[in-house]
Amino acid sequence: MHANKSYQVLHPARNEFFSGIKAELPLMIGVIPFGMIYGILAISVGVPANAAQAMSVIIFAGSSQFVSAQLFGLSVPAIINLFTVGVINLRHALYSASIAPYLQKLPTRWKWVLAYLLTDEAYAVSIIHYQQEGDDRIKHWFFLGSGLTLWMTWQLSTAAGIFLGSSVPASWSLDFTLALTFIALVVPAIKDRASLGAALSAGLVAVALFNLPLKLGLLAASLIGILVGLLLEGKS
Amino acid sequence: MIIWLTIIAAGILTYAIRLSFILLYGQIRMPSQIERALRFVPPAVLTAIFIPELILNDGNPFLSFGNARLLAGMLAIVVAWRTKNVIYTIVIGMLALWILQFLFS
């Protein structure tokens, strides 16, 4: 590693950008298989290759693309497909609210770009970075670096999955990398009783309500988890 | 044609959700209760996504030592807790799943 102090002083923004890329890269070993599985799935249910890739660019939200592709395969009415995507992606409103205070001084064009890049993985590393010490005026470069890394990886891996089609066997269980990625993000971030309570209660409710339609159980579980976190925090 | 319209509408909808609070912040005053709640968003949401992946099999609870995903996931939780390292967590979790699936098959 070439550590050059004057470089860091002269180019703090560029430094932030590369730190964002570096923080995001380890997550890619979970994202690449997930993107490939999405591509494989979309082709196998009959979504045209160009439309499957367009979903990665236009929607750019993995789990909703999974479900939406399956609904295309089932020829479900478009309005139901759309509603389902909205419900699954509603958690991004929480991310948006959570990261908004740190972005408020940015020019509007930055807000438009960063909002497009606001995914689970980019949010997770960026919010941790925002909560740490450092120069808040340049941390959006970190967010940009992590977001673009995820974007590139997602596009390339879904393209690879579309190309491979059905030649990867399901017995590889590559879908499990999604759960492992989230474990790697959540567990180190649990630092007190309140956040542990939020995670555990959300997990339990998600299991109990899993069979509700449209992933509504996920939404209910998230809200209950947040509520439990607040209650535990209030007590201590 | 309908598939393209649906994709574009879904993209606009998802983008609007992501942009919502980023654009509106400062114009509407956020209650302090909500600001406190935001800290719990990542643990609650992400755990609600991954726990069912470990415990459920086709939507039904599968709590047993024969559940390879549950065992591999629990090992990954320990690895994530001890090492705080993303790569170790994913690689060890995946290897554990493959070994367990091989043993149980």
Which run of H or E residues covers position A7? helix A5-10
Mutation choice for A interface testing from B12, B14, B58, B105 by most A CBs within 10 A: B14
Q: Tens digits of per-residue pLDDT, A117-157?
A: 999 999 999 999 999 998 888 999 999 999 999 999 999 99
**Are A132 and A225 members of one domain?**
no
Tell me whether A216 touches chain B (CB under 8 Å): no
**Are B19 and B57 members of one domain?**
no
How many domains are there within chain B? 2
Give the separation between CA B80 and CA B78, rounded to whole angstroms. 5
How many domains are there within chain A? 2
Angle, alpha carbons A63-A54-A86 (nearest 5°) = 40
**Are A57 and A144 members of one domain?**
yes
Burial state string for B12-28 with b = 16 or more CB within 10 A and e = fewer than 16:
ebbbbbbbbbbbebeee
Query: Residue B77, Cβ neighbours under 10 Å: how many?
Result: 19
Provide the residue range defining the domain that includes B83: 39-104
A 196-215 near B (Cβ less than 8 A)? 196, 198-207, 210-211
Chain A partners within 8 Å of B53 (Cβ): 176, 178-179
B25 contacts A104? CB cut-off 8 A: yes
Instruction: Name which of B27, B11, B30, B21 is nearest A92 in CA terms.
Output: B21
**Are B44 and B95 members of one domain?**
yes
Tokens of B38: 């935001």
Q: What are the C-alpha distances in Å from A119 to residues A91, A96, A100, B79?
A: 10, 10, 14, 24
Long-range contacts of B29-36 (CB under 8 A, 24+ apart): B30/A97, B33/A230, B34/A97, B35/A101, B36/A230, B36/A233
Query: Which 3 state secondary structure label does DSSP give A121?
Result: helix
A228 assigned to some structural domain: yes
The confidence score (pLDDT) of residue A214 equals 64
Burial class (CB in 10 A: 0-12, 13-18, 19+), A102: buried
Position B29 pLDDT exceeds 80: no
Q: Tens digits of per-residue pLDDT, B46-85?
A: 898 889 989 998 888 888 888 999 999 999 999 999 998 8
Amino acid type, A106:
L
- Residue pair B41/B55 in contact by the 8 Å Cβ criterion: no
Chain A partners within 8 Å of B71 (Cβ): none
Q: Tens digits of per-residue pLDDT, A8-23?
A: 556 889 999 999 999 9
Tell me whether B82 touches chain A (CB under 8 Å): no
Q: Which of A55, A171, A207 sits opposite B55 (nearest CB)?
A: A207
B59 contacts A210? CB cut-off 8 A: yes
Position A173 pLDDT exceeds 90: no
Provide the residue range defining the domain that includes A197: 190-236
Which run of H or E residues covers position B57? strand B56-57
**Are B96 and B53 members of one domain?**
yes
> Residue range B4-22: average pLDDT?
97
**Are A111 and A60 members of one domain?**
yes
**Residue A174 backbone dihedrals phi, psi, to 5 degrees:** -65, -20
A180 assigned to some structural domain: no
Chain B residue with Cα closest to A185: B86
Give the separation between CA A182 and CA A27, rounded to whole angstroms. 9
**Are B21 and B53 members of one domain?**
no
A108 assigned to some structural domain: yes
Give the separation between CA A117 and CA A151, rounded to whole angstroms. 7
